[in-house]
């Protein structure tokens, strides 16, 4: 074997090894977090920019803060499932509170705030939060409790619990 052939084989091997090192495999995991968004408005319906929105996990005490943008809109993403309280505040307005609310896997909810003009010490608490409807998207989803999984009929695969989700239809991929 000539040195030219050896050099060509060596170069090919190096490029092959480099190509294998640069190959990246991506996988898309199932979404296991919730997200919320909404708007802050005053009593007249005008937007309240730069209001602070606080999301607090009632079980762990972990807090997430964000601010409303120029249109009075806020977004909080990657929220772990759990029970939370929400509040919005801004200097010159009374603090508005909502909750407790329960967020589950893949839930997207809208929570709007109405901030009343008042002193910083004043606060308004919303005690009765309505039924949480997922109005941000048309997705269907559900969370099965441990007991619901145990109660699945024999022969039903845990990999396909769609028939037990209201409005869900199983699609055969066979």
Largest CA distance in the chain: 89
Domain hosting residue 60, numbered range: 34-126
Provide the CATH number for the domain around residue 93.
2.60.40.1120
Q: Does residue 148 belong to any structural domain of this protein?
A: no
Walking along the chain (174 residues) 10 residues at a time, the average pLDDT comes out as 62 54 48 91 95 96 96 96 96 93 93 85 57 58 72 64 60 58
Whether the CB-CB separation of 92 and 81 falls below 8 Å is answered with no
Runs of H (alpha helix) within 40-157: 146-150
Per-residue pLDDT, 135: 59
Per-residue pLDDT, 150: 74
Sheet architecture: strand order including 63-67:
63-67, 52-57, 82-89, 95-103, 123-126
Q: Does residue 138 belong to any structural domain of this protein?
A: no
Domain count, the chain: 1
Contacts of 34 (CB under 8 A, 6+ apart): 79, 80, 81, 103, 104, 105, 106, 107, 108, 109
Q: Does residue 171 belong to any structural domain of this protein?
A: no
Per-residue pLDDT, 136: 59
Per-residue pLDDT, 173: 57
Q: Does residue 113 belong to any structural domain of this protein?
A: yes
Q: Does residue 96 belong to any structural domain of this protein?
A: yes
Per-residue pLDDT, 26: 45
**What is the C-alpha separation between 51 and 49, in angstroms, rounded?**
6
Q: Does residue 17 belong to any structural domain of this protein?
A: no
């Amino acid at each position: 074997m000539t040195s030219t052939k050896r050099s060509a084989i060596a170069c090919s091997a190096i490029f092959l090894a480099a190509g294998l090192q640069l190959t990246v495999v991506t996988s898309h995991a199932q979404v296991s977090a919730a997200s919320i968004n909404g708007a802050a408005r005053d009593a007249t319906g005008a937007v309240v920019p730069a209001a602070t929105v606080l999301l607090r996990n009632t079980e762990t005490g972990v807090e997430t803060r964000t601010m409303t943008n120029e249109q009075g809109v806020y977004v909080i993403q990657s929220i772990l499932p759990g029970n939370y309280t929400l509040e919005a505040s801004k200097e010159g307005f009374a603090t508005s509170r909502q909750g407790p609310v329960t967020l589950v896997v893949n839930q997207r909810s809208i929570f709007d705030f109405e901030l009343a003009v008042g002193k910083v010490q004043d606060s308004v608490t919303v005690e009765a939060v309505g039924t949480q409807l997922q109005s941000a998207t048309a997705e269907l989803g559900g969370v099965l409790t441990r007991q619901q999984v145990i109660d699945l009929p024999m022969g039903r695969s845990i990999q396909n619990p769609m028939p037990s989700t209201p409005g869900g239809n199983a699609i055969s991929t066979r």
